[in-house]
């Protein structure tokens, strides 16, 4: 009887601690080099008074250089402010252990694209690519993220990370706090 209970506990503990497999949108090796990118993952969603905004993360490894791609989608019938990235833009991640990790934007100015849809909504899409600093990986693999601050060309915005939320857009459950813990292994 003890053998059956031990075996059952072992089976359930292996299931609980099993790592999720990496889900790539691209994994290419050719004569130009290697490129690996994870699928986009929703980090934030806000819907209020006809205005919607979404933030997606994706990790990439290009010839050994790890980066974080951040994509912002905004939808509104009102005016949408453009937040631009430039060479001085930074992304700050505050961890639950109190440490702050800084990611540096690549030297590429970008203010996004504004598209009007057939229902009269303005949609702004903006993307930024940020490079990790040398010692940031270990901290991000071991501590959840509680807040993100983005320094744009002319503005700074803060985003509080939720432990878990169910998206109104996709009807899926996301865990933004543990995004790096769960996914950094995919680009190492």
In eight-state DSSP terms, residue 164 is -
User: What pLDDT was estimated at residue 142?
Assistant: 92
Question: Sign of the CA dihedral 120, 51, 128, 108?
Answer: positive
**Could you tell me which of 135, 64, 67, 130 has the C-alpha nearest to residue 103?**
130
104-124: per-residue pLDDT in tens? 999 788 888 888 888 888 899
**What count of residues does the chain have?**
188
Helices vs strands, H then E, count in the chain: 3, 13
What is the domain partition of the chain in residue ranges?
Answer: 22-187
Question: Where does residue 63 fall: left (phi above 0), alpha (psi -120 to 50 degrees), or beta otherwise?
Answer: left
Report whether pLDDT(150) > 70. Answer: yes
Decide: 161 and 176 in contact? Cβ < 8 Å: yes
pTM, 2 dp: 0.83
Strand-pair category, 173-174 with 33-38: unpaired
User: What pLDDT was estimated at residue 17?
Assistant: 43
């Amino acid at each position: 009887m003890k053998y059956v209970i031990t075996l059952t506990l072992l089976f359930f503990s292996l299931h609980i601690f099993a790592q999720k497999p990496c889900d790539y949108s691209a994994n290419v090796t050719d004569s130009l080099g290697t490129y690996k990118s994870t699928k986009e993952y929703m980090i934030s969603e806000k819907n209020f008074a006809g205005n919607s905004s979404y933030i997606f993360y994706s990790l990439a490894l290009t010839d050994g250089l790890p980066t974080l791609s951040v994509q912002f989608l905004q939808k509104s019938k009102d005016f949408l402010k453009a937040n631009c990235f430039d060479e001085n833009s930074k992304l700050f991640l505050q961890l639950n252990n109190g440490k702050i990790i800084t990611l540096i934007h690549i030297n590429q100015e970008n203010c996004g694209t504004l598209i009007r849809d057939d229902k009269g909504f303005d949609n702004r899409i903006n993307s930024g690519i940020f490079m990790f600093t040398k010692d940031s990986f270990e901290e991000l693999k071991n501590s959840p993220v509680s807040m993100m601050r983005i320094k744009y060309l002319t503005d700074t915005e803060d985003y509080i990370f939720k432990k878990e939320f169910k998206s109104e857009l996709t009807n899926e459950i996301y865990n933004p706090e543990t995004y790096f813990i769960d996914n950094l292994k995919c680009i190492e």
